[in-house]
Structure 1
């Protein structure tokens, strides 16, 4: 098939372009394609991980309802080993710690709460874990360690709760003056309709306001 001079020049120009840039463009297309495939693969992996974690978490919920701490320990350990980044693993640890605290296994409760804090996850979840850890430490009479947790950074929405518990720790340590100031600050930070206001006021009255 014959080409006129203009067509031949266009063909020659196109050939020259692909000779110079063809490999780069092909590589870029391949990289984009692989990136898309990788992204889809990652989405599928994340979804399958979440589904598998949910199955184990369902078992954990049943064990928690039955108060079976021994079984809870095994199941939460499995969640943390195989799905440490799943939010269900952190939630499971919080619930396991709560059951352990209720059954006076303070060592296990403390370990679970420290595991949650080590994951550096959602700020609100971390604040809940820190409050519960401070409660465990208070029960263990580790007052300085409890105060250190309560002085750690946390979302402002938790200020009243942290200050209230700090007052409890200071009362236990015999520092009524410090507790009084902490309870006052907790009241100042609490919402006007917060259910805990009356309880905090009662504790403030008990140390002298």
Structure 2
């Protein structure tokens, strides 16, 4: 088929363009395809891991129902080892910590709370774990360690709870003046008609605050 001069110039221009940029464009398209496939593959892997973690978590529910702390510990350990970045592992660790505390196994309870603090992704869950750890340290009469935990960074929404528990620790430590300050600060952090307000006020009144 014959082309007129204008058409031939257009064809030559396209050929020249592809000679100069063809390899680069092909490379970009290939890289984009690989990246897309990689993303899809990673999403599929994440979904599979989430399903496996959920299935493993069912063993925790069964162990709790059976009140079998040995099986509970085994199930949580599996989650921590194989699905440590999942919310299931964090939740399981908190459950095991409570079960261990109820059985007076404070060492196990402490180790689980520390695992949550080291590996958990959710700041609110971390704050709950830190409060429980500080409460455990209070029970162990390691007051300075408990206060150190309560002084660590946490979401602002937990300020009143941290200050309230700090007041309890200071009372146990025998520092009534500092405890009063902590309770007053806790009251100042409460919003509106919080159910904790009267409880904290009662403790403050008991100190003559």
Question: What is the TM-score of this pair, normalised by structure 2?
Answer: 0.95
Aligned-partner SS, 1:194 = coil
* 2:163 paired residue number: 163
* 2:5 paired residue number: 5
* 1:75 paired residue number: 75
* 1:23 paired residue number: 23
| Greater displacement, 144-153 / 118-127 | 118-127
- Residue by residue, what CA displacement relative to the aligned partner does 1:126-153 show, whole Å, maximum 9, x if unpaired? 1111101111111111111110110011
* 1:118 paired residue number: 118
Aligned-partner SS, 2:85 = coil
Q: CA deviation at 1:206?
A: 2.1
Q: CA deviation at 1:190?
A: 1.7
* 1:186 paired residue number: 186
Alpha-carbon separation, structure 2, partners of 1:102 and 1:132: 13
Q: CA deviation at 1:58?
A: 1.6
Q: Which runs of 5+ in 1 are unaligned?
A: none
Contact kept, 8 Å, 2:54 with 2:88, in 1: the verdict is yes
**Structure 1 residue ranges (4+ consecutive) displaced by more than 4 angstroms after TM superposition:** none
* 1:96 paired residue number: 96
Alpha-carbon separation, structure 1, partners of 2:208 and 2:68: 43
Alpha-carbon separation, structure 2, partners of 1:12 and 1:88: 62
Contact kept, 8 Å, 2:87 with 2:120, in 1: the verdict is no
* 1:44 paired residue number: 44
The correspondence of residues 133-152 of structure 1 with structure 2, limited to 5 A, is 133-152=133-152
Question: Size of the alignment, in residue pairs?
Answer: 209
- Residue by residue, what CA displacement relative to the aligned partner does 1:14-54 show, whole Å, maximum 9, x if unpaired? 11111111110001001111111111111111111111101
Alpha-carbon separation, structure 1, partners of 2:178 and 2:204: 11
Q: CA deviation at 1:120?
A: 5.0
Alpha-carbon separation, structure 2, partners of 1:121 and 1:165: 24
Aligned-partner SS, 1:85 = coil
Across the aligned residues of Structure 1 and Structure 2, the Cα RMSD in angstroms comes to: 1.2
Aligned-partner SS, 1:3 = coil
Q: Which runs of 5+ in 2 are unaligned?
A: none
Alpha-carbon separation, structure 1, partners of 2:120 and 2:61: 24
